[in-house]
Amino acid sequence: MTVSKAAEKSSEKPGDAAKGRKDATEAQPEALQLGELSEQLGYVLKRAQLKVFENFLRCMASLQLTPAQFSVLLLVEKNPGRNQTEVASTLGILRPNFVAMLDNLESRDLCARIRSTNDRRSHILVLTDKGKAVLARAKKLVATKHEARLNDLLGQANREALIEMLSKIANEF
Amino acid sequence: MTVSKAAEKSSEKPGDAAKGRKDATEAQPEALQLGELSEQLGYVLKRAQLKVFENFLRCMASLQLTPAQFSVLLLVEKNPGRNQTEVASTLGILRPNFVAMLDNLESRDLCARIRSTNDRRSHILVLTDKGKAVLARAKKLVATKHEARLNDLLGQANREALIEMLSKIANEF
DNA sequence: TGATAATTGTTATTGACCATATCAAATATC
DNA sequence: GATATTTGATATGGTCAATAACAATTATCA
């Protein structure tokens, strides 16, 4: 499949291969035919995922939260007192890569590592007050600016059906 | 959101945070609650995308084709005679990053760069005979082993609805 | 025509992620 | 109490996306 990031800049829109079209008198480079590509699950899935992440970053620009960071805050809020291994594993993040992520969140005073009294090897994770406040604002932004857009685009029923199908793929494919 | 690759090894299955559960007598670490995460579009979209790519790679193991490489072959077959900039741009690949990809495909004799006679700056792309043959086999593998699995999982109607919704997101979000 | 700008493929380089191996400290096992 | 396991952490390598810059070629246009 393919599809690059381009993130919030939304530069180099794919599918817009034709570049300098200024006038109908100009020689049109003719767009390429996608053909079977537009029916390939992986291709369309990847493209959609990039667009969604791109939009997510735009919505969260004021809070400076990436999708991954948002997921960590959500999970820690829902499961306070769990250690790094548990949280990372649940999110599919490898422990080594989770360290820098937490360093970031902790340096911004959004969450805290607390040495466990039961098992002094592990760090218990909790949200700080600031972390809870930021997450609350993030949820509102996501709901009003991000998820709401899906409803506008697909409608409530289709939106729910889409989430359900994607979950099924994620869990059973 | 988050979710790592783990590709074909399918190691470290996310959502399986509980590790060494051997017996019901063992102290169950209790799985974490996903909470609102399971309703987040980006989260479930990313997870699904990783699973689909993972499965794609398994299906294509005999041909050693990545999703990106497959998309290039498909597009070049459908649009022979286009140059690198056009093909790369259509797929959302930046020109610099497309060079190594083509080096790979060309070294395997799957496609060829031909200096254009009209514009001697550009390289026209075409599939070699071997490239066409490999792509034909790849299509069959994708259809029978990959896309077919979606039908088993969602049903024909839902599969089509899913593709359509994802395309809508990719194009209009 | 000829000087300047733009385009194409390419290289080099950087940063973001993903993944593995390894380590010290702490705990579990037997 | 000796050995193995677990936890957080570091170091490192790989892949991929993104930007800057360059030579060759072509387009623009005064």
pLDDT at A5 over 70: no
- Which bases of strand C sit closer than 7 A to a protein CB? 6-13, 17-22, 25-28
Helix (H) or strand (E) holding A158: helix A156-172
Helix (H) or strand (E) holding A50: helix A41-59
Contacts A161 to B, Cβ<8 Å: 158, 161
Mean pLDDT across the stretch A133-148? 97
Mean pLDDT across the stretch A42-46? 98
Q: In three state form, how does the secondary structure of chain B look?
A: CCCCCCHHHCCCCCCCCCCCCCCCCCCCCCCCCCHHHHHCHHHHHHHHHHHHHHHHHHHCCCCCCCHHHHHHHHHHHHCCCCEHHHHHHHHCCCHHHHHHHHHHHHHCCCEEEEECCCCCCCEEEEECHHHHHHHHHHHHHHHHHHHHHHHHHHCHHHHHHHHHHHHHHHHHC
Q: What is the pLDDT of residue A4?
A: 61
Q: Which of B4, B52, B153 to mutate to test binding with chain A, by most A CBs within 10 Å of its CB?
A: B52
Cβ distance of A52 and B169 shorter than 8 Å? yes
Query: pLDDT confidence of A1, banded at 50, 70, 90?
Result: low
Q: How many CA atoms lie within 13 Å of B121's alpha carbon, on the beta-carbon side?
A: 1
Question: What is the share, in percent, of chain B residues with pLDDT greater than 90?
Answer: 82
Name which of B56, B62, B72 is nearest B142 in CA terms.
Answer: B56
CATH code that applies to domain B40-172 = 1.10.10.10
Is B63 touching A (CB cutoff 8 A)? no
Q: What is the pLDDT of residue A30?
A: 85
Q: What is the pLDDT of residue A38?
A: 96
Contacts A14 to B, Cβ<8 Å: 89-92
* A1 compared with A76, residue with greater pLDDT: A76
Write the pLDDT tens digit of every residue in A62-71. Answer: 999 999 999 9
CATH code that applies to domain A45-172 = 1.10.10.10
Joined tokens for residue A4: 């690059």
The protein residue nearest D21 (Cα–C1') is B96
Mean pLDDT across the stretch A160-172? 97
Mean pLDDT across the stretch A90-97? 98
Using a 7 A cutoff on CB, list residues near strand C: A 19-20, 66, 68, 93-94, 96-97, 119-121; B 2-7, 9, 11-12, 83-85, 95-96, 98-99, 102-103, 113, 119, 121-123
Q: What is the dihedral of CA A162, A165, A170, B2, to 10 degrees?
A: 10
Is A148 touching B (CB cutoff 8 A)? no
Query: pLDDT confidence of A10, banded at 50, 70, 90?
Result: very low
Report ipTM for this prediction: 0.89
Q: In three state form, how does the secondary structure of A77-145 look?
A: HHCCCEEHHHHHHHHCCCHHHHHHHHHHHHHCCCEEEEECCCCCCCEEEEECHHHHHHHHHHHHHHHHH
Q: Which of A39, A55, A71 to mutate to test binding with chain B, by most B CBs within 10 Å of its CB?
A: A71
pLDDT at A23 over 90: no
Low-confidence spans in chain B with pLDDT less than 70: 1-2, 4-29
For A19-23, A52-56, A65-69, which range has the lowest pLDDT when averaged over its residues? A19-23
